[in-house]
């Protein structure tokens, strides 16, 4: 008879759905317990300012060092946290970690602190208060907060993201479009959305070869940013020829292994002392 087969199939499907749910709950739980157990850390990657010839700021990058597993790739656990609706609590946790780290720094006012903000967070009603709390808690250092958002955020916007950006920019926060050129951003969004920086994805930067091959897409992105009065940040700069190419075309900020790798706060503090002119750190 077909009945046992149907029953088995039904039970199998139900079990599959159940397992999926259990796994979802458990990943959320894993993230929550990892936060409680302090398994997350922030690494800071210095950003070089070509005009001043020195480190102008850092990008905060999340790291998850799982006991017995090692470092989990950020793009993987961030995507999972987004899918499980955990990216907002995780980012709030990151902000607390940055606040703690900044107490040990002696960077000048307006030192840039870049924080990556996921689309769901950008378009949430709580973003403004999350960032205001952060600003209040790091007020002693008076950093310039740069929210790094992606092209995805602009496309998904229902109006709340734009409103959040308007409120925060009026309070001195700046906004960067991250990984520019890799998403599906229509160029018209750039005219509509008030942003300050354009971060060129490392894929375009790494197309710059010592051999001097042409890089038409990169060149057009730089020109576009300049026409829109946006400062350009190049990420993934690994070689001197890449650095020379970019700076000779007016790219203001350079980020990449050539200048410095991301590092924990305890390493960044002495690094910054070595890389800032004597007497400039307050």
C-alpha distances in angstroms, 137 versus 69, 93, 130? 33, 13, 11
Which of 247, 281 has the CB closer to ligand C2E? 247
Out of 50, 238, 249, 263, the residue judged to bind ligand C2E by CB under 6 A:
238
Interacting positions 1-40 with Mg ion (CB under 5 A): none
* Binding pattern for the stretch 205-244 against Mg ion, x by CB under 5 A and - elsewhere: ------------------------------x---------
Residue number with CB closer to ligand C2E (70 or 279): 70
**C-beta separation of 85 from 120 below 8 A:** yes
Between CA 106 and CA 150 the distance in angstroms is 30
18-to-8, 21, 135, 175 alpha-carbon distances in Å:
15, 5, 42, 41
CB of 21 to ligand C2E, least distance (A): 25
Q: Is 178 one of the binding residues for Mg ion (CB under 5 A)?
A: yes
H-run or E-run covering 93: helix 87-102
Please report how many Cα atoms fall inside a 13 Å half-sphere around the Cα of residue 257, on the Cβ side.
Answer: 6
The reply to whether 179 sits near Mg ion by the rule CB under 5 A is: yes
Using CA atoms, how far residue 130 sits from 3, 37, 94, in Å, is 56, 22, 11
- Kindly determine how many residues on this chain lie close enough to bind Mg ion according to the rule CB under 5 A: 5
Total of chain residues touching ligand C2E, rule CB under 6 A: 22
Contact call for residue 151 and Mg ion (CB under 5 A): no
Subset of residues 4 to 43 that bind ligand C2E, contact rule: CB under 6 A: none
The residue written with tokens 């009065």 in the block is 229
Cβ neighbour number for residue 250 with a 10 Å cutoff: 13
260 near ligand C2E (CB under 6 A) = no
Binding interface with ligand C2E (CB under 6 A) = 45, 61-62, 74-75, 78, 91, 94, 116, 118, 148, 178-179, 202, 235-238, 255-257, 262
């Amino acid at each position: 008879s077909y009945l046992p087969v149907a029953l088995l199939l039904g039970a199998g499907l139900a079990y599959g759905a159940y397992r999926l749910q259990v796994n979802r709950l458990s990943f959320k739980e894993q993230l929550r317990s990892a936060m409680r157990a302090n398994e997350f850390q922030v690494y800071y990657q210095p950003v070089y300012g070509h005009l001043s010839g020195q480190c102008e700021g850092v990008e905060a990058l999340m790291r998850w060092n799982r006991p017995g597993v090692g470092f989990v790739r950020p793009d993987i656990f961030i995507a999972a946290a987004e899918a499980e609706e955990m990216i907002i609590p995780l980012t709030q946790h990151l902000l607390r970690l940055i606040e703690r780290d900044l107490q040990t720094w002696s960077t000048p006012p307006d030192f840039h602190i870049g924080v990556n903000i996921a689309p769901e967070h950008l378009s949430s009603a709580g973003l403004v208060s999350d960032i205001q709390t952060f600003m209040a808690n790091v007020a002693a250092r008076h950093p310039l907060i740069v929210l790094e958002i992606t092209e995805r955020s602009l496309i998904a916007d229902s109006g709340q993201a734009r409103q959040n950006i308007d409120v925060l920019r009026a309070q001195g926060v700046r906004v960067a479009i991250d990984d520019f050129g890799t998403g599906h951003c229509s160029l018209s969004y750039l005219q509509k959305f008030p942003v300050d920086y354009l971060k060129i994805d490392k894929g375009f930067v790494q197309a710059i070869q010592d051999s001097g091959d042409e890089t038409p897409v990169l060149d057009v992105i730089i020109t576009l940013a300049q026409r829109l009065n946006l400062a350009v940040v190049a990420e993934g700069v690994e070689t001197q020829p890449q650095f020379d190419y970019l700076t000779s075309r007016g790219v203001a900020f350079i980020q990449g292994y050539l200048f410095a790798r991301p590092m924990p706060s305890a390493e960044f503090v002495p690094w910054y002392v070595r890389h800032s002119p004597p007497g400039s750190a307050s």
